[in-house]
Chains A and B, each alone.
Chain A
Amino acid sequence: MTITTSSVKQVPWAARTRSGGGTGRLRRPRSTAGAGMYRPWWMPVLWIAPTVIVIAAFGVFPFLNTIVLSFTNATPLGGGGEWVGLANYERMLTDDNFWRATRNSIVYALIAVPLLVVLPLMMAQLVYKHLPGIGLFRTAFYAPVVASMVAVALVWQNLLNERGPINTALRSVGLVDSPVPFLSDPVLLLASAIALTVWKGLGWYMIFYLAALANVPSDLYEAAELDGAGAVRQFIHVTVPGVRLTMLLIAIMSGIGSLRVFTEIYVLGGATGGPGGQVQTLPFYIRDTALDPIAGNAGYGAAVSVALFLLTVGLAVLSHKFGSREES
């Protein structure tokens, strides 16, 4: 049905919309009624103002300011602040600690993302169809998400220590002779932190897959079953294509999450970020260099922050490319 301007004019509220200084254009009378009938122009402004102010002042402004700071020698307590051009970026390129943190963050994402894309889908598949007690399992699988990170990191510190249950189990079945140094060897420490991130994230991403599975038409499964496809082939040929967009979304979200890791490293590896700082991630390094009250260099930290931001964007673009290539 097309509504012309002349027919709209006959509707009583249309005139009021105009004279009320409302937002003019009339396409669909129903929606315009909702928008214009009793609404003065300042009402939306009033309702969104707090959100706009907070997001502009503490989201957009600090981002722009970070770029400005990265060209200065500002300190976290307000000293300095002179323009130093590209000096911070030049220093960054030759800073081994920066490259080490970058490498750790990238390795973190490269290992955590595939695990967080695949494992939660399998979990969602497991709890999707109704069975007696399934609600209990769903809630239990979500438990690590709800528990606070510092607390669960302390749990894993106990589980992984030299005499902890994991080492005890490995020794009792004869897999290893001496305790595995999960928390003191830099490589194993990074792996342990990744395992903690993945373990805590499984339930969170499972929820997204549950929502996505609800949108996969069930007759596709029935057709596949009639064609003699088993559970595995149904998973590969019906489920995975059906939740592809969600997989892409989760790849981006878990990638960004991996680049943000701080707490896992801080609790498992200590305040230095592993022995000699070898397991520091980028956020860890930013906090260490920029925000130390005495030796902090906010300008340099801002330059590293810009690098972290670019890495995040790069990762999102990469996931997107990867996702759309599979589509064709």
Chain B
Amino acid sequence: MTWWYARGRQRAVVVRYVLLLLVLAISVGPLLWQLFSSLKGSEEALFGSEATFLPQDPSLAAYRTVFEQVPMAQYIRNSLIMCALTIGSQVVFPTLAGYMLSRRHWRGRSGFYSLLIVSMMFPFESIMVSLYMQIRDMSLDNTFVGVWLPGAIAAVNVLIMRATFAAVPDEIEDAAMLDGADEWRRFFRLYLPAAKGSLVVVVINSFIAAWDDFLWPFIVLRSEELYTLSLGLARLAASSLSFDPRVIMAGSIIAIVPIMVLFIAVQRYFFKGVESGAIK
């Protein structure tokens, strides 16, 4: 208890660390519990008072089982296809549109801006009935394109890119123009490199959104061979075959880990991009 007698400022730091650790336990504790439980050997208790937090007899058997008994690899592949489509369209089109929106004086600019704002007012769930009928009329139901197309370009990403490009000082553009750089050249050489941080944010957000999405793919996709990981997991959990709980746990850990690794790899950009106002 010697810390209690330390000077006030040091005590405040200790209190802060205690609170930080408490929030840490709440936010990642459940995920770690699931990870450790999925690694427990078949003889170990998962639930009840005799269950331990750490596996005593670690084993990867549940991971082997989930790949053997469920088309896990196919689910992962399907999720990756959805992510690739979404990231591609969310990077290219909002970047082009956001750049134009940050330039002044062209006809229709304010109309375009209004369209973006208006489109963000409808929650997806309140238009999904009509959206499904549209997709079905286009013969796109039960296809990846049908899942991807309605969410291919998000207005919020256009606004993020607009804010990013608007923050590039005009003097730099003037200088480039005096050097005779045309608009394409200025866009690729000057503006795109300046937007690297925001592009990382857009990529990660799109990846998470596509990887995580449940309700819309659930409505559009009916064949199991097209199921994404989220759909496959929900099906696995609701399956009438009674799986060992470790197998379902292993499945959910497989859904969480790739996205976590990706996020940790780029989180520096992410927090920096957000704090510098890219999200406003």
Interface residues in A109-152 (C-beta closer than 8 Å to B): 123, 126-127, 131, 135, 137-152
Chain B: minimal CB distance from A221 (Å): 13
Of residues A126, A171, A231, which shows the largest number of chain B Cβ atoms within 10 Å of its Cβ?
A: A126
Is A126's CB under 8 angstroms from B115's CB?
no
Is B174's CB under 8 angstroms from A30's CB?
yes
Interface residues in B30-78 (C-beta closer than 8 Å to A): 30-31, 33-34, 37, 46-49, 51
Is B256's CB under 8 angstroms from A152's CB?
yes
Task: Please report whether the interface of chain A is mostly helix, strand, loop or mixed according to DSSP.
Answer: helix
Enumerate chain B residues within 8 angstroms of A123, measured Cβ to Cβ: 23
Residue of A nearest to B19 (CB): A126
B255 at the interface (CB under 8 A from A): yes
Enumerate chain B residues within 8 angstroms of A271, measured Cβ to Cβ: 238
B116 at the interface (CB under 8 A from A): yes
Residue of B nearest to A35 (CB): B105
Enumerate chain B residues within 8 angstroms of A51, measured Cβ to Cβ: 93-94, 96-97, 153, 158
Q: From the candidates B47, B124, B150, B271, name the one contacting A168 in the complex (CB within 8 A).
A: B47
CB 8 Å contact bits of A268-312 with B (1 = contact, 0 = none): 001100000000001100110011000000100110011011001
A220 at the interface (CB under 8 A from B): no
Is B150's CB under 8 angstroms from A23's CB?
no
Is A126's CB under 8 angstroms from B20's CB?
yes
Is B126's CB under 8 angstroms from A306's CB?
yes
B123 at the interface (CB under 8 A from A): yes
Chain B: minimal CB distance from A277 (Å): 16
A186 at the interface (CB under 8 A from B): no
Task: Please report whether the interface of chain B is mostly helix, strand, loop or mixed according to DSSP.
Answer: helix
Residue of A nearest to B53 (CB): A165
Of residues A39, A139, A148, which shows the largest number of chain B Cβ atoms within 10 Å of its Cβ?
A: A148
A-side interface size class: 35 or more
Enumerate chain B residues within 8 angstroms of A56, measured Cβ to Cβ: 115
Is A148's CB under 8 angstroms from B33's CB?
no
Enumerate chain A residues within 8 angstroms of B93, measured Cβ to Cβ: 50-51, 54
Task: Give Cα A31 to B173, complex, Å.
Answer: 10
Residue of A nearest to B50 (CB): A168
B107 at the interface (CB under 8 A from A): yes
CB 8 Å contact bits of B217-259 with A (1 = contact, 0 = none): 0010000000001100110011000000100110111011001
Is B248's CB under 8 angstroms from A154's CB?
yes
Query: What would be 29 A-B contacts, judged by CB atoms less than 8 Å apart?
Result: A24-B105, A30-B174, A33-B177, A34-B104, A35-B104, A37-B183, A39-B106, A41-B107, A51-B97, A52-B112, A62-B130, A65-B134, A66-B129, A131-B16, A140-B28, A141-B27, A144-B27, A145-B208, A148-B212, A148-B256, A151-B253, A158-B249, A165-B51, A203-B27, A210-B271, A211-B274, A286-B126, A291-B219, A309-B122
